[in-house]
Structure formats: structure tokens, C-alpha cells
Chains A and B, each alone.
Chain A
Amino acid sequence: MPPELSDPADALAAVAALRRLADQLEEAAVEQAMRDGWSWPEVAEALGITRQAVHKKHAKRLIEAGVSLRRR
């Protein structure tokens, strides 16, 4: 068990680090899913966000990376 967070500086730093880790995980996981043939709606549903949001955030990068994307 991690120690109880009594120092707000530690708690706030943890929030920043978790956001960064979440962003890194999202980039890697979305790319892996699309390489495995997942569709945008499937990825969006798994992340709990809209298809437009996931497309806007990742499509340009994945297209430039040469990932072949399913349209639906």
C-alpha cells in the first residue's frame, strides 16, 4: 500500500504525473489498437469519448505514421 498522501505537494505532483502517464498510455494504446484493426468508434467507446474527439486527437499522427486506418 502506498503511504497516505498528507502533503498536498505530493498529491498535486501525482495528479500531474498521472495525466502525463495517461496521455502516454493513450497515444500508445490507440496506435496499437488501430494497427490491430480496431475502428474509430470502437476505440472511442473503449476510451469513453466521442469518435470525433479520438479522431481529432490521433488521426493526423497515425496517418503520418503510416497506420492503415479502418474508416468505420
Chain B
Amino acid sequence: MAAIDHYLNSVIQQARLEAFDDGSATLEAHHLLLGIAVVGENAELIAAGLGYDQIRAALQEEFEHSLQTVGVSAAAYHLPKPTRVGDPPTTLGASAKLAFDRAFAWARRKKDLRPVHLLLGILQAEIGTVPRALALAGFDRPALLARFSGEPA
């Protein structure tokens, strides 16, 4: 198995755990982003201020902010956390599929695929949870894209 396959497999395995913890039936782009932050090849992410804890905080803020726009407070509910047992989800959700499609488009050929391409595929989304979370947390997504791609914004 090529190094990139090992890397993607590790990211997906971590993303499955993130989705499972989230109670999500599918792996979404933000789970992949958390997976990247855990698995490695993440020194540049951390240097950009996007460590695991920062990403989690940004995602939680986006969730709470989105609920607040319709007058709902996630903190208003105090039910115990449900027990999570069984197997983490394996199905890729729409946002994760798009992230992979865009990652492969960055690489042009599969053998050219590198870890950064998945990150770029995630950051390329202009709509959805990840870009909203990054914007709310004060990150300049186009600047991050430029930084990680090595191409001017």
C-alpha cells in the first residue's frame, strides 16, 4: 500500500471516530478535517492556528451560532449523553465526497495525490459547516488555501 493510501486510511479511521462521537451516521468534511488534525502531516495546520482543539472549538461555535439564528440554544438541553456503542459509521457524506473529489482534482493524477490535497479539498468548499466555522473563528479561508497550495490567493 502506498504512503498516501496509509495516510488517507488513517485520516478516514480517525474521521469515523469523530463522526461516531458526534452521533453522525455519515463521515462529513469536518470529520475529515479533525482526522487530519489528529493523524499527522498536520504541522502546517497547527502553524496556521488550526490544531485539533481549535478546529473543534470552531465547529462547536458554528453549531451553536447556526442554532441561535433561529432562537435555539443547544445548551438549553440537559439530557445525559447517549451511550455510543457498535461500529463507527463508514459511509461518506456529501461534504466528504466533495472534499475527496476536489482533492483528486488538485492532484490531477492519483499517483500525484499528497496529504495536503485532501486538506485543500476540504478548504476549497465555500459553503457548508467547515467554511462557516472557519469564518466565525476568524480564519481567512482563501488565505489558508493559498498558504497550503503554495499558489497566490
Q: Could you tell me which A residues sit within 8 Å of B by CB distance?
A: 1-3, 5, 9-11, 13-14, 16-18, 20-21, 23-25, 27-32, 60-62, 64-65, 67
Q: Are A10 and B79 in contact (CB-based, < 8 A)?
A: no
Neighbouring B residues of A10 by C-beta, 8 Å: 66, 69
How distant is the Cα of A30 from the Cα of B80 in the complex, in angstroms? 11
Instruction: Among B72, B79, B80, point to the contact of A18 (Cβ < 8 A).
Output: B72
Known: A27-B23, A64-B85, A64-B86. A14 touches B79 (CB 8 A): no
Check if B152 is an interface residue, CB within 8 A of chain A. Answer: no
Q: How many A-B residue pairs have CB under 8 A?
A: 72
Neighbouring A residues of B62 by C-beta, 8 Å: 13, 17
Instruction: Among A3, A13, A28, A31, point to the contact of B66 (Cβ < 8 A).
Output: A13
How distant is the Cα of A66 from the Cα of B62 in the complex, in angstroms? 34
Q: Are B86 and A61 in contact (CB-based, < 8 A)?
A: yes
8 of the cross-chain contacts (CB-CB < 8 Å) are A1-B71, A2-B71, A18-B70, A20-B23, A21-B72, A31-B83, A65-B83, A67-B83
How distant is the Cα of A17 from the Cα of B83 in the complex, in angstroms? 21
Neighbouring A residues of B63 by C-beta, 8 Å: 17, 20-21
Q: Are A21 and B67 in contact (CB-based, < 8 A)?
A: yes
